[in-house]
Structures are given as structure tokens and as C-alpha cells.
Structure 1
Amino acid sequence: MRERQFLDTAIGAVNRLNQSLQDNIELIAMGEEEKDAEIVKEAEAAIREIKSEADKRQIETLLSGEADSNDTYVEVHSGAGGTESQDWAAMLQRMYMRWAERAKFKVEVLEEHSGEEAGIKSATLLIKGHNAYGWMKTESGVHRLVRISPYDSQARRHTSFASVWVYPVVDDSIDIDVNESDVRIDTYRASGAGGQHVNTTDSAVRITHLETGIVVQCQAERSQHKNRATAWNMLRARLYEAELERRENAANAEAASKTDIGWGHQIRSYVLQPYQMVKDLRTGIESTSPQDVLDGGLDPFMEGALAHRVHGGDAAVDDID
């Protein structure tokens, strides 16, 4: 039923775009016949919007991986640099939450460790929506920020790093078997907001997979039982993502990009001073409006990265404003 609903939606969208295109072509012909420049102008603008939507739906056809349609987990970790990188990690967390809101996806904060002065040390988001993992999967890697630090009394320019790791939620169609003897389970007190109960009971859960060293943790709920169940789901998802990586030719390069949160491993640079620029270092796509990008305007970067990934770097990319 889910696949049928997806196909119905996709076919309906193509038919709607086609009908809208034909209607506007007829409007242009009518406007030219009646010498009404305003009708022609409005119809041409509508056709440009149709092209933009068609381009996006063409990119969506690249989301054909076995887990692309699934919900996704997104982990954000601050790099070295204390408050600077922790503030940058919080900015990235907000950016992905805003992007999800724009895409009409649902977002849950499963885990968040606050920084000492500002920002976050780490956070885990659950983004729910069709193709959430497919869109987000190219965001894994190190993100670099250059700006005048608001925490530096001498107003010097600082470079900060934070890493992002994206992996799919494993649904009922995928069977991942993990024995309790293969893991270590720890409980601890949750940090941050949440009321007296959250902060005074060992409700947070951390699971370590002994063979791979994979660690997941959840503190979203007051109930340790619910947090434990969510953490198990996260662990299965991480193990599944690791298997997907092993199947890809570029798995080694991608894994290396996650090991060192610093120079030489970044996938995207965000420069706020001395000039305004966001540049994806894999595709060359640029934006001169970093604030829009930080407010969730990530679609052009995601689309370019998807095309680059599928076509092996042969896809042409354009700069954006």
C-alpha cells in the first residue's frame, strides 16, 4: 500500500505538471493573439516554476537506493575548539531542523549534550518523511565554518569544524539480528532541559556494539524502557548503514572523511567573514547567501551531491545565488 501510494503520487504529479504546462502554453498563445503582455508574462513565470519543480522531481528519481525512502537519523558532533565548534554544531542542528520543516518532514530530538558555555557537544535527530534518508545521505562528513567569533573579545576570525553522520531508520522490511551478548548497555542521567524527573533518574540509555565499537544513545523519553527500545533501533540502523557502506566502492573514502573532524576532510565550507559564501567542495556548487543556507536552504546542495554521486562527478553543476 505504501508503494502504491508513492506511485500514485508520482504519476499524479507528472500529470499535473503536464496539464499545467499545456494550460500556460495556451495562455501565452492567447495573450500574444490579444496583445496582452501581462498574460504572457504571468504564463512564462508559471512555466519557469513548472521547470523548477520538474527538475526537482527528476533529481528524486535518483533516490532509488534500497533505504532511500526510509526515515533517517542525523548525528551532529562538534570538533576540537571548545565553545566555537560547539556553537557551530548547534547551528548545524538548527539548519537541518529548518530544512526538515521546509520539506514538511517531522523532527524529533533523540539525544542532545549541551556545551559548557554555549552550543552542543553532540545531538541526534530523527527525521521522518518519505525519502528523508535519500535526501540527507549526502550530508555525512565534516562541515567547516569561518567567521568573526562572537566569543572572542578581540573579534578575531575563527575556523570551526563539526561532523555530520546520516544513517537510515531500519523498517520492518529489513531484518537486522543483534544478540544482547554482543553489546554493553549503560544507563545514565539525562542532561539538559526536561524537568526534575529526567535529570534525577537514570533514564538515558547508551548501547555499545562490542565487535564494531558502534555507540548509540538516547535520552528523549522519561522512560528508560522507551529510550532502550529507541537505542536498539538506532543500533540496528547503524549496523545496516555500515553494511550499505561496505557495498559501495567509495566506502573507504567516506569512512575516512568521518574519522578526523578537521582540515582536509570537510565536504562543505560556510564563510561568513570576510566575505559571504557557502561552497560544496565535492560538486563546486556555491551560494552567496549563507544565511538562507543556514535557515534550511539546502536543496540545491543536496540535489547537486546526489547527481554527483550517481553520475560519478560527470554531472554539471551551476552556482546559485
Structure 2
Amino acid sequence: MKDYSDDLAALRRRLDEARVYLRIDELREARPQLEVEASRPDLWDDADQARKVTGELSSVVEDIELYERLEGGIADGETLFELGREEADDSVEAEIAEALEALGTDFGELELRALFTGEHDDSDALCELQSGEGGADAQDWTEMLLRMYLRWAERSGFEVELAEASAGSEAGLSSASFVVRGRHAYGRLRSEHGVHRLVRISPFNAQGKRQTAFAALKVTPFLDDVPDIEIDEKDLRVDTYRSSGAGGQHVNVTDSAVRITHLPTGVVTSCQNERSQHQNKDVAMQMLRAKLAERQREEREAELSAIRGEQRSVGFGSQIRSYVLQPYQMVKDLRSEHETGNVDAVLDGALDGFMEAYLRWERSASDPAAE
């Protein structure tokens, strides 16, 4: 019978490491109090606090149960191996090998969480798309990217709130803003922050020529509670307007769209997808606080890349990723060098491979000994 001692010992070491970076002991201490808070009959009197408590409890339970499932799987594998070795029973070898393979896969998913080391990686994400160079193709590309991220969020179990989408002058969208809610939403989507380049035969070119188009995605941590951000109403200009219904099914056509301009900084937010002007203003104000908090962090750390990475012009030479449909098919990230030939799958939201490759690239770039 094959000796699986080293394999099982390696899994034990990985489990010990997981206990540390998941802070399992702290989570077990925190769980009872969170369960008490979540069971309070008046919990939902404050919806924001209720979402915070239930979300935190869900994350704690998820990490503890995953750790315990892996711990149990290793213990079962060790027991099976010892029994097989004592009884010289080779028939259990295939079962042990299958169990070890499954545990390895589970550990791979678990260890991805160790890459979420940023201050706000657990947070929701405010995402803003903006068309760049490329005319009608860039506006069409912006709408394609919006669909790609909405599909990714749907496939990944995240909630999405589309705040605003503005029709392009020729086609597609000139801009769009949306919030992605769920654990590690920002931690994953920050890998997408930057300029995205599309190369294809242009449907807007009568000669059928190849066209290059650009659009940018800006990703900011979307914090429900930003206590250190004080906004004076005198510093705001609030405009109301009728939404254009840009993006077809994406946006409700209403008379209550709101645009807020923070005059001292020039930061602008808008929302047109809620049912009332009051709701649109509340969402736009929350987006404004998140953007101003981001601005404060950038100024405090004096380095834009500390939170979102470098912001560059939305045109040639600035892209983080290229999506080539002609003359061949390829999506390639220019930072991690992760690539795939299945362009259709990526445009339909299959982005996890690119996100994980970026996080691993980021860790190796900051700590070469980590890889």
C-alpha cells in the first residue's frame, strides 16, 4: 500500500496555517455574541445595522464550518490510512487518493482567502465604467463590460445595485455606476480596476475594418458607515433630471434622477435607478461618502496605488487587459500574464481565473518569497 504519511502531514500543516490566517480561535469567541445579536426581535428596526450583524455572522459561520470540514476530512483520511496499513488492505488506496485530491481542491479555495489582505477587501464595491478612445465602439464596449460584470456578479452570488447608466452619443453607454454587495466583493473587483482594451471587426465600420476601443473601470470600497466623512450641505449642488433609460433594461425611466456635485473637490455622483427622488439622493450621497473616503485615504497614504492602483488615461498603452476578437481570439491580463482563448466565456462573466491570478501576482510582486 502506498505511504500517504507525507501527504497527510502536509495537509495538517496547511490546516494549522489556515487556523492562523482565518483567526479561527477569535471567530469561535465572537460567534456566540453575534448569534445573540442576530436573534434580537428588534434587530430589523435598524436595517443597516441588521445587515451588518447578519453579514458578519454569516462570514464567521462560513469560515468556521469550512475549517471544521477540512479538519474532519483530514482526520478521516488519517484514520483510513492507518486502518489500511495495519490490515495491509490495499483496497482503500483509491479511496484515500480521492479524498486527498478533494481536500487539496478545498484547500486551494480556502487559501485564496489568505490573499485578501487589504484593509477593505471584505467590503462591498462601488464600480464606475467610463468609455474612452474608440468612438461608438468604445461606447458599445462599455455596455459589453457592464453586462460582463453583471453576469460575473450573478454567477458568483453577489447582489448588484445599478445606480446609473448614461446612453452614449452613438451607441451603447458613455458611463455606468453600480454597487456590488457581498463578502470580498471589493477584494475581487479591485483586480479589475483600470483600462480594458477591445480589438475586433467594428460593427460600426462599413468597410469591416478592425477597430480598437477602450473603457475604464474604477473600483472603490463602498462602505455603509463612513463616520470620519463630514459633508456640509453648503458644499453640495444637487441637480434633478429625467433619466434617459440608457442601457435598455438596465435603468428605469423616471423623473427623479439625482446628480450630486461636491463643490470643493469636484467629485460627482448620480443615481437614477431607485423608485423615488429621495431614494436616489440617499444612494448618491452614500456613493459620495465612499468616494470622498477613498480620496482621503489616497491623500493620507500619498500613493494612489495603495488602494486602487495607478489611474491612467483611457487609451493606447494604458490597458491592464486586452480582449482580442480579431484576427485571433484571446483575453490576456498584462500584469499577471494570465490568458485564455475562450473570449465568449470571459465576456459572459467567467472572470475568477483573472481575479485569482491578479491576487497571486500582487502577492508575489510585494513579497517574492511568498511564491
TM range (shorter): 0.7 to 0.9
Q: Retained in 2: the 8 A contact 1:111–1:218?
A: yes
Q: What is the distance in 1 between the residues matched to 2:106 and 2:340?
A: 20
Residue identity in the other structure for 1:230: V
* Equivalent residue, structure 2, for 1:294: 347
Are the aligned partners of 1:110 and 1:220 in contact in 2 as well (CA < 8 Å)? yes
Give the alignment of 1:262-301 within 5 angstroms. 262-301=315-354
Distance 1:43 1:291, change over 3 A: farther
The runs of 5 or more residues in structure 1 that have no matched partner are: none
SS of residue in 1 equivalent to 2:115: coil
Q: Which residue of 1 aligns with 2:211?
A: 158
Output the CA distance in 1 between the equivalents of 2:260 and 2:209. Answer: 41
Which one has more relative contact order, counting CA pairs under 8 Å at least 6 apart?
1
Considering only aligned residues, what root-mean-square deviation do their CA atoms show, in Å?
Answer: 3.1
* 2:171 alignment partner in structure 1: 118
For the structure 1 residues 183 and 312, does the alpha-carbon distance in structure 2 shift closer, same or farther, using more than 3 Å as the test?
farther
Q: Measure the CA separation in 2 of the matches of 1:239 and 1:296.
A: 30
**Aligned partner letter, 2:327:** P
Contact kept in structure 2, 1:267 and 1:281, CA below 8 Å:
yes
**2 CA distance for matches of 1:33 and 1:250?**
61
SS of residue matched to 1:111: strand
Q: Distance in 2 between matches of 1:11 and 1:105?
A: 21
User: Which letter does structure 1 place at the counterpart of 2:355?
Assistant: M
Are 1:57 and 2:99 matched, yes or no? Answer: no
Query: Which residues in structure 2 correspond to 1:1-321 (within 5 Å)?
Result: 1=34, 2=53, 3-21=56-74, 23=76, 33=89, 40=94, 44=97, 47-172=100-225, 174-192=227-245, 199=253, 201=255, 203-248=256-301, 250-251=303-304, 257-312=310-365
Q: 1:259-315 CA distances to partner (integer Å, 9 max, x unpaired)?
A: 411012111111111122111111222222222221211112112222333443556
Between the aligned partners of 1:150 and 1:246, the Cα distance in structure 2 is 43
Q: From the superposition, tell whether residues 147 and 248 of structure 1 become closer, same or farther in structure 2 (CA, over 3 Å).
A: farther
Paired letter, 2:291? R
Distance 1:107 1:44, change over 3 A: farther
Per-residue CA deviations over 1:203-247 (Å, capped at 9, x if unaligned) read 111111122211111101231111111100000000112223335
Larger helix percent: 2
| Residue-by-residue CA offset, 1:10-35 (whole Å, 9 max, x unaligned) | 121122134335556777997x9465
Give the length in aligned residue pairs: 312
Higher alpha-carbon deviation: 63-72 or 275-284: 63-72
How far did 1:46 drift?
Answer: 6.0
* Structure 2 residue identity aligned to 1:192: G
Secondary structure of residue in 2 paired with 1:69: coil
Which sections of structure 2, spanning at least 5 residues, go unmatched? 1-33, 35-52
Over residues 48-74 of structure 1, what are the superposed CA-to-partner deviations in whole Å (9 max), with x where a residue is unaligned? 454333223212223233322121111
Aligned to 1:190, the other structure's residue is in SS state coil
2: CA distance, partners of 1:18 / 1:157: 54
Q: Return the TM-score normalized by structure 2.
A: 0.74
Distance of aligned partners of 1:208 and 1:297 in 2 relative to their CA distance in 1, 3 Å threshold: same
Change (3 A) 1:240 1:254: closer
Mapped partners of 1:246, 1:206: distance in 2: 25
Query: Mean alpha-carbon deviation: is it higher for 170-179 or for 252-261?
Result: 252-261
